[in-house]
Amino acid sequence: MPYVARLRVARNLQTLGILWYVFAAYRALAGVIGFFALHFFASRGNFSPGWPFNHSYMNHGSGWMAALAPLIAVYVVMTVALAVFTGYSLLSRKPWGRTLAIIVAVLALLKFPFGTALGIFTLWVMAPGESGMEWEAMADRS
């Protein structure tokens, strides 16, 4: 059994890094779709120019929805950047990549169902003590 645990990181590292890139693309696509859905509901189907900074939304009673657009955009950009950065750190075997992957995996657990699955898989690969020793041996120290 310890033999399997020691090879866990080496066997799954490539897949894990690629899955973090795929998750970033999924989050970006979901953010774009969500942004357009918010635009549609904030304008009640009227795609007026200049959204979200068009103040005519106050006339429709949905100005608070238009005010959410910058917050959603910042959230989506940050989650996509964090997922890309995690994938990069794993594939390039950065010394701090394991710690970053564990932290981001815990945060991803909240994004059901894909984030939850990726978070569980990441924690299964990277969290055990044996994985830490294996990661230290594999990490690129340059």
* One pLDDT digit (tens) per residue for the chain, 142 residues: 455 445 899 999 999 999 999 999 999 999 999 888 877 766 664 545 555 555 554 444 456 666 777 888 899 999 999 999 999 999 999 999 999 999 999 999 999 999 999 999 999 999 998 898 989 988 877 5
Dihedral (Cα; 16, 20, 26, 32), 10-degree rounding = 180
